[in-house]
Chain A
Amino acid sequence: MSGVAVGRRASTARPSLWVRLKPRLSVGAWAAPALIWQLVFAAVPLALLVLMSFWTLSEYQVSKEFTLDNYSRLFSDSIYLQAYLRSLLLSFTNALLAILISLPFAYALAFHVKPRRQPLILLIIALPLFTSYLMRMYAWQTVLADNGVVNAAGLHVKLLFTETGIRLGLLSYFCTIVILLLYTAMRLVPPELLEAARNLGATERQVALRVILPQTKLAMAIGGLFAFILTFGDFVATSILGGGQAYLFSAQILDQVRISNWPGAASLAIVMLITLLLAFAIAFRLALGKRTA
Chain B
Amino acid sequence: MKEFGDSPAVDSIDLVVEPGTFCALIGPSGCGKTTTLRLISGMETPTSGQVLLNGNDVTYVSPRNRKTPLVWQSFALFPHLTVRGNVEFGLRMSGVDSGERRSRAMKLLEYMGLAEMENRPVVTLSGGQRQRVGLARALVMETGILLLDEPLGSLDANLRIVMQSELKKLQRELQLTFVYVTHNQNEALAMADQIVVMNDGHIEQGGSASDVYLRPATQFVAEFVGANNIFGAQVITTNGTHMEVETEIGRFKIASGLGAPDGSERHRAGSAISFVVQASRLRLSTGNGQNVLRGKVITHEFSGALVTTFVELDDGRLLKLQRPEIEVMGREEAPDEMISLTWRPEDVHILPEDR
Contacts and interface: CB of A to CB of B under 8 A. Distances in A.
Interface of A: 190, 192-193, 195-203, 206, 210-211, 214-215, 217, 291-293
Nearest to B88: A293
A291 B89 contact: no
B102 to A, nearest CB: 10
Contacts, number: 74
Nearest to B67: A201
B206 interface: no
Interface string B24-41: 000000000000000001
Given A210-B93, A292-B85, A293-B84, A199 B78 contact: no
A203 B79 CA distance: 19
Given A196-B70, A293-B81, 15 more contacts: A190-B76, A195-B43, A195-B70, A196-B76, A197-B89, A198-B64, A199-B68, A200-B64, A200-B69, A200-B138, A215-B79, A215-B80, A217-B80, A291-B81, A291-B82
A83 B93 CA distance: 46
A198 B38 CA distance: 12
Contacts of A196: 70, 72, 76-78
B76 A201 contact: no
A293 B64 CA distance: 22
A195 B76 contact: yes
Interface string B171-209: 000000000000000000000000000000000000000
Contact of A293 (B67, B119, B141): B119
Contacts of A195: 43, 63, 70, 76
Nearest to A215: B80
Q: Report, nearest first, the 7 A-B pairs whose CB atoms are least far apart.
A: A200-B90, A214-B80, A196-B76, A192-B76, A201-B93, A202-B93, A293-B85
Interface in B39-93: 41, 43, 62-65, 67-70, 72, 74, 76-82, 84-85, 89-90, 92-93
A201 B137 CA distance: 12
Interface string B139-151: 0010000000000
A195 B41 CA distance: 10
Given A192-B72, A196-B72, A293-B119, A201 B80 contact: no
A177 B80 CA distance: 25
A291 B119 CA distance: 9
A200 B74 contact: no
A193 to B, nearest CB: 6
B93 A199 contact: no
B81 A201 contact: no
B82 A199 contact: no
B121 interface: yes
B94 interface: yes
Contacts of B67: 201
A199 B121 CA distance: 21
B63 A198 contact: yes
A82 to B, nearest CB: 40
A214 B119 CA distance: 17
A124 to B, nearest CB: 30
B285 to A, nearest CB: 40
B76 A206 contact: no
Contacts of A217: 80
A193 B90 contact: no
A286 to B, nearest CB: 13
Contact of B41 (A199, A210, A211): A199
A211 B82 contact: no
Given A293-B84, A293-B85, A293-B119, A199 B79 contact: no
Contacts of A198: 43, 62-64
8 contacts: A190-B74, A193-B76, A197-B89, A200-B64, A211-B78, A214-B78, A291-B121, A293-B119
Contacts of A215: 79-80
Nearest to A194: B76
Contacts of A214: 78, 80-81
Contacts of B43: 195, 198-199
A51 B310 CA distance: 81
Nearest to A192: B76
Given A199-B64, A200-B93, A193 B78 contact: yes
Contacts of B81: 214, 291-293
A214 B86 CA distance: 13
Contacts of B64: 198-203
A199 B85 contact: no
